[in-house]
Structure 1
Amino acid sequence: MPKVSIIVPIYNVQQYLAKCIDSLLEQTLQEIEIILVDDGATDKSPEICDTYDLKDHRIKVIHKTNGGLSDARNMGIEVAQGEYIAFLDSDDWVEPNFYEYLYSLAKKEDADIAQCDYIEVYAEDIQIDFRQHIKETIHTGAEALGLLFGKEYVKTVVVWNKLYRRNLFDEIRFPKGKVHEDEFTTYKIIHKANKLVNSNLPMVYYRQREGSIMAEGFNERRLHVLEAWKEKYEYLKQEGLEELALRTEANLCSTLKGFYVQTQKSSLINKNKILEDLRSEMKRKYIKFIKNPYITDRGKITLTICLLNGYVFCKLYTAYTNSERF
């Protein structure tokens, strides 16, 4: 049985794919399986996958009809045999000792999850500076949920900088057809974990490129995060994690207002309907938002202004874009 199964969803990334796969074949941890999931790519990505399949017995290639990132990840989970599961986006790459480092952390601490940091890159010739002081912290699953708020948020919510003990996915899958799919799943996985080891060492190169999902301008699909946070709020409240539920609710309030402004500035076909839906959501939750201790007085005032006069609110929001909890 391999120690780690690495699942790589692939769709039309022919110019980046070789670097991603090569970084996996160069891993110092040899007991791995690399699951390349061709999600119905229409460029040369399928052929590249098949070529690598002939090079190394640790590579498994799955060709499937296009179903999106979540569907491809879920397919990889179904066939994974490793003690731990990892995910890597097909346009990113990792340091040669990345999986050996996380695996050793997980085994040393008997942790269900091990995660490290990452760096955003715009070119391939960048190198990580490893002279920094390495800091490793240990959290229970409940404690680790707190990392989803504040400066550790992005690092904790994404899936491609982690190892997960495989049984964490016995009952959890990524939601098909959703953007922000990690927002729908990560909190459930972390809460299920016995322990999470968190390292500050950056070992993943997170490529920033035009054409990626997250590089798109504002569009209707971005609204999926609102659904994710509403589900997260209900989950945390049901689990008795009231403080984290209230902090999630505060994030929801801030994001509703931010999306209202972005929608107002957009040229979306359903613009007026989306604006009305956002206002209706704020109106339904108005009393709860006003009572939420994690929403500042300024945040509550601007929420009220938004409901009274959306035009004035958008002008104020634009003027104070960098204001905390506007």
Structure 2
Amino acid sequence: MTAGRGYPLNSKLCSIIIPVYNDWDYLKRLIERILAISAGAAVDLNHLFEVIVIDDGSASDLSAQMPVSPMVTYLRKTNGGVSSARNLGIDSASSDYIMFLDCDDDIPDNLFEIMQRDLVASDKDIHQYSYVTRHEGTGAETSHIINSADGTELFSHFLLKKNSFHICSFIFSMKFLQQHQLRFSEDTGLSEDVLFIFNAFAVAAKVKGFEDVLYYYNIRQGSVISSFKGKRETEHLSAFAQISQLSKAHLSGALQSEANFFLKTCLINLYVRSLKLAKANHAADYLDLLQQMKRFGAAIGRCRYPYSVKGLFVIVFDVLLKSSQFERLSKVMNRTVHG
């Protein structure tokens, strides 16, 4: 039994869950990278870590062409989306901790050293790490450094957007996930990762942030995240509505106010996204989305705006959202974006 943890160990320290859907070339590169790093370690890591690849119903099963290692397990399922793939990964894991990766991203050379240092004697429900965004084709990089904080302070930094976040920059305790029956919503196709992280923070007792970079997020040109989904964009609002319900159920006082601020910033991100990505042939869907955003914005409770540029921006957006001219101004801005 490991010090600091009052329950029996599972067979592994951490499971790395990687969904894949047709991107086998990217996956092969990532698996080879993981295995190269583990091969260079001073100790045998096979007994500490496992990689679980979930093929979410790709057109072809190319797992036989992937690198073979006792550390790596390939599972195939019918297509159900990334949430169902990650949930299967959680259910299949035999470890004390869970980390998620996307198959087209990357990891630092010291990934396993960080994990061993932070997880072996940990009693934390959530570990949050820094990460780096890389833009394909430009070589540009942006570092997202996490404040070394814990408890409600780390949750507050998340809600006030002082810390950037990505699902792959977190490590979650398996005992914690099982205790609270935390899984990704398979009915929510967009912002499901934001919903999962918020839900975890809302019920976690022990959380800690680390400045170490755990993950490299590669933004590919023409990727799914950068394309407008028409009517599906309203699925973001479904996730936001569930976040609102969770905040009312689990939060109070300052955290409740900050959760409302968080929801307002999520709404702004969706609004800016709609202005950037709505096309002429999505005009009806775009206008419907504007109306749904307006209704949702009116339902968000009061919040205390932080003294920051972001806080001022939220205030301005609140005024716009409540204006009777919201739709007309949005049409003008959309025409300005697309010419």
TM-score normalised by the shorter chain: which range applies? 0.7 to 0.9
Residue 73 of structure 1: CA displacement? 0.3
Residue 241 of structure 1: CA displacement? 2.5
2:245 counterpart (224, 234, 246): 234
Separation (CA, whole Å) in 2 of partners of 1:278 and 1:248: 17
Report the TM-score when normalising by structure 2. 0.76
Q: In the alignment, is residue 60 of structure 1 matched against residue 78 of structure 2? A: no
Task: Report which stretch shifted further, 65-74 or 90-99.
Answer: 90-99
Please tell me the residue identity of whatever aligns with 1:303: L
Q: Deviations over 1:9-32 (max 9, x none)?
A: 001112311121122222344421
Residue 138 of structure 1: CA displacement? 4.0
Residue 36 of structure 1: CA displacement? 0.7
Seen in structure 2, the aligned counterparts of structure 1 residues 39 and 169 have a Cα distance that, compared at 3 Å, is same
Assess if the C-alpha contact under 8 Å between 2:54 and 2:89 holds in 1: yes
1:302: which partner in 2? 320
1:188: which partner in 2? 199
Q: In the alignment, is residue 121 of structure 1 matched against residue 139 of structure 2? A: no
The number of aligned residues is 305
1:32: which partner in 2? 49
Gaps of 5+ in 1: 320-326
Instruction: Indicate the SS of the match to 1:160.
Output: helix
Residue 126 of structure 1: CA displacement? 7.4
Separation (CA, whole Å) in 1 of partners of 2:58 and 2:322: 47
Please tell me the residue identity of whatever aligns with 2:59: T
Q: In the alignment, is residue 70 of structure 1 matched against residue 87 of structure 2? A: no
Residue 166 of structure 1: CA displacement? 0.6
Report the TM-score when normalising by structure 1. 0.79
Separation (CA, whole Å) in 2 of partners of 1:138 and 1:310: 41
Assess if the C-alpha contact under 8 Å between 1:106 and 1:113 holds in 2: no
Assess if the C-alpha contact under 8 Å between 1:174 and 1:185 holds in 2: yes
Task: Report which stretch shifted further, 142-151 or 258-267.
Answer: 258-267
Assess if the C-alpha contact under 8 Å between 2:54 and 2:88 holds in 1: yes
**CA RMSD of superposed structures (Å):** 3.5
Instruction: Indicate the SS of the match to 1:94.
Output: coil
Q: In the alignment, is residue 175 of structure 1 matched against residue 185 of structure 2? A: yes
1:95: which partner in 2? 108
Seen in structure 2, the aligned counterparts of structure 1 residues 311 and 251 have a Cα distance that, compared at 3 Å, is farther
Gaps of 5+ in 2: 1-10, 306-310
Q: In the alignment, is residue 42 of structure 1 matched against residue 59 of structure 2? A: yes
2:119: which partner in 1? 106
Please tell me the residue identity of whatever aligns with 1:6: I
Separation (CA, whole Å) in 2 of partners of 1:299 and 1:108: 45
Q: Deviations over 1:192-245 (max 9, x none)?
A: 333223122223221111343222236433332322222222222222423333
Residue 300 of structure 1: CA displacement? 3.8
Q: Deviations over 1:273-294 (max 9, x none)?
A: 33433344445x3xx66x5443
Dislocated runs of 4+, deviation >6 Å? 124-130, 316-319
